């Protein structure tokens, strides 16, 4: 058994953990990252379904990380020094209906309104006003999004001081479905936005989701979403190059089984093989709230129980990665080829709503399918051999099946994957199984096996409900990245603020640590 000593030990090598590690190393700390898998990245990874094809099984498109100063200000040099490169398709997301009609959201508001006017000129004009409101409100929402969050009560008080903020407070108490019903008349526009709201992995009819359209449409008309050139794994590689350039060390195949304590203070970690590693200053753990009680000796039982009661998302996903002989040709028209994410939905609001209801009961709604597709090789030719195509085919899925629970996914994996693929084909003029070179399928059970952060296949870490939002994520007492009663231990991960999608949210954990240590924030950050 060997002993090694570092200033900081980071448990987990996902994008959030690596972001924290990179900032701390930049600030002069000697940092070690330990990753249990043979590859770092968590959900920011790539794979090859066939030789010459590069697919992203999770993070297929980047949106919420782009306003983060880590990217927007290139604080870590990921873009300028360490090889991270994005390509930005013309449209951010689209809805194609089964009758060949559809709707696209471009950063350009006028172009977006043109597609809405096909269904309702009144809604096009109302949408224009709504987006302008969103753009005025967006700074309020983004304030603190990439930094330690305000306590929830303080955040509400801040919002309540202006008419715009008061409107947001009302939206936080409402559902996206009810909010959009009050604003628009065309079912098509409502479905277009609601399906994208559902990408937060929460039923858009749930109370509290009314705030999501404000952030979503504000961001979608601010900039183009991005695809990482060469695969999302290249974002992870850029983070590692940055980290290592500042003296950091990464170890893979290094599973941490225990956070070591002495007198209420974290002293280091123990690996599965018995190796003990000492941390002089702190341990940072990408440890799911459900696991805190098992990983940390001496944690307050009430804190551990409240963490164990954190709610997961309303559903997960079944993801498929394809190598195709050619790119899909959309029935809805060639303009959809320029969109990064295409939602395929029956032009029937009731069908879409029933799909979400099925997840609640542990059922896969094969009669109400609405797949999401990204053809990344259309925008990044390095992803596929000349003339061929990659495809990211994604669909919501219950975490726990009514028949068989989480483990039941192995029994129906291929059946569900085939049904989703067949539904996708019906929106094209050229796709069928003969165009498939190879595919790779991952269910909620596979996601659960891949990462401890994806409990029961929850790819968002935990539910993005208002009760688990900002200064309440994952619980009010853990929201500042600390565990009460435990010194020198910090939390990071998708289940922490800001949560969910690829945000590089570990920036906030690093900032909190440096604030606690009275360090000069300008050593690592340009905006704080």
Q: Are 11 and 230 within 8 A, CB to CB?
A: no
Q: Closest Cα to residue 383, out of 276, 183, 231?
A: 231
Lookup result for tokens 């968590």: 42
Q: Strands 31-34, 3-11: parallel, antiparallel or unpaired by DSSP?
A: parallel
Distance, CA of 286 to CA of 64 (rounded, Å): 20
Distance, CA of 380 to CA of 226 (rounded, Å): 11
Distance, CA of 173 to CA of 175 (rounded, Å): 7
Q: What residues have CB less than 8 Å from 404, skipping those under 6 apart?
A: 411, 412
Lookup result for tokens 């949560």: 499
Give the pLDDT of residue 3.
61
Domains along the sequence of the chain with CATH:
3-44+63-86+230-311+459-523 (3.50.50.60)
Give the pLDDT of residue 159.
84
Q: What is the DSSP letter of 369?
A: -
Give the pLDDT of residue 367.
93
Give the pLDDT of residue 158.
84
Give the pLDDT of residue 369.
97
Distance, CA of 214 to CA of 197 (rounded, Å): 10
Give the pLDDT of residue 294.
94
Distance, CA of 38 to CA of 392 (rounded, Å): 23
212-220 helix and 121-142 helix, angle to the nearest 10 degrees = 100
**What ranges in 368-442 are assigned the alpha helix state H?**
409-425
pTM: predicted TM-score of the whole model, two decimal places: 0.96
Distance, CA of 512 to CA of 522 (rounded, Å): 13
Give the pLDDT of residue 156.
87
Phi, psi of 416 (to 5 degrees): -70, -45
Per-residue pLDDT of the chain (528 residues; tens, 9 = 90+): 456 999 999 999 999 999 999 999 999 999 999 999 999 999 999 999 999 999 999 999 999 999 999 999 999 999 999 999 999 999 999 999 999 999 999 999 999 999 999 999 999 999 999 999 999 888 888 878 999 998 888 888 888 888 888 888 888 889 999 999 999 999 999 999 999 999 999 999 999 899 999 999 999 999 899 999 999 999 999 999 999 999 999 999 999 999 999 999 999 999 999 999 999 999 999 999 999 999 998 899 999 999 999 999 999 999 999 999 999 999 999 999 999 999 999 999 999 999 999 999 999 999 999 999 999 999 999 999 999 999 999 999 999 999 999 999 999 999 999 999 999 999 999 999 999 999 999 999 999 999 999 999 999 999 999 899 999 999 999 999 999 999 999 999 999 999 889 999 999 999 999 999 999 999 999 987
Give the pLDDT of residue 1.
41
């Amino acid at each position: 058994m060997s002993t090694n000593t570092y200033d900081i030990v980071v448990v987990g090598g996902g994008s959030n953990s690596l972001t924290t590690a990179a900032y701390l190393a930049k600030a002069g700390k000697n940092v070690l990252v330990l990753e249990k898998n043979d590859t770092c990245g968590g959900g920011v990874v790539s794979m090859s379904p066939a030789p010459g094809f590069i697919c992203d099984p999770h993070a297929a498109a980047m949106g919420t990380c782009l306003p983060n100063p880590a990217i927007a200000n290139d604080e870590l040099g990921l873009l300028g020094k360490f090889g991270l490169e994005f390509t930005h398709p013309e449209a951010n997301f689209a809805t194609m209906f089964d009758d060949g009609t559809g709707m696209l959201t471009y950063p350009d508001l006028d172009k977006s309104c043109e597609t809405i006017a096909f269904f309702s000129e009144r809604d096009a004009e109302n949408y224009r006003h709504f987006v302008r409101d969103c753009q005025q409100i967006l700074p309020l929402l983004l304030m603190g999004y990439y930094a330690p969050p305000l306590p929830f009560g303080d955040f509400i008080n801040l919002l309540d001081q202006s008419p715009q903020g008061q409107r947001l407070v009302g939206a936080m108490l409402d559902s996206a479905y009810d909010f959009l019903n009050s604003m628009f008349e065309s079912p098509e526009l409502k479905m277009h936005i609601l399906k994208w709201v559902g990408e937060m992995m929460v039923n858009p009819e749930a109370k509290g989701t009314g705030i999501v359209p404000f952030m979503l449409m504000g961001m979608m008309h601010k900039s183009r979403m991005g695809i990482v050139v060469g695969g999302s794994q290249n974002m992870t590689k850029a983070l590692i190059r940055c980290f290592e350039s500042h003296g950091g060390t990464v170890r893979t195949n290094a599973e941490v089984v225990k956070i070591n304590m002495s007198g209420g203070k974290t002293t280091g970690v123990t690996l599965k093989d018995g190796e003990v590693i000492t941390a002089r200053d702190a341990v940072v753990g990408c440890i799911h709230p459900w696991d805190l009680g098992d990983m940390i000796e001496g944690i307050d039982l009430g804190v551990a129980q409240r963490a164990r009661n954190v709610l997961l998302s309303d559903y997960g996903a079944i993801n498929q990665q394809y190598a195709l002989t050619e790119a899909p040709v959309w029935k809805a028209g060639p303009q959809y080829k320029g969109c990064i994410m295409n939602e395929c939905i029956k032009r029937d609001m009731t069908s879409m709503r029933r799909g979400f209801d099925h997840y609640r009961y542990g059922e896969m709604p094969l009669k109400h399918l609405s797949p999401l597709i990204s053809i990344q090789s259309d925008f990044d030719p390095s992803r596929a051999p000349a003339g061929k195509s990659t495809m990211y085919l994604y669909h919501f899925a219950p975490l726990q099946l009514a028949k068989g629970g989480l483990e039941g996914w192995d029994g129906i994996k291929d059946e569900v994957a085939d049904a989703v693929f067949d539904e996708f084909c019906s929106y094209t003029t050229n796709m069928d199984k003969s165009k498939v070179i190879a595919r790779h399928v991952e269910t909620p059970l596979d996601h659960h096996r891949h990462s401890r952060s994806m409990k029961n296949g929850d790819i968002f870490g935990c539910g993005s409900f208002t009760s688990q939002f900002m200064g309440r994520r994952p619980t009010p007492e853990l929201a500042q990245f600390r565990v009460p009663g435990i010194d020198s231990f910090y939390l990071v991960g998708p289940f922490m603020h800001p949560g969910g999608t690829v945000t590089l949210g570990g920036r906030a954990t690093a900032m909190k640590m440096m604030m606690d240590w009275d360090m000069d924030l300008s050593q690592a950050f340009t905006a704080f």
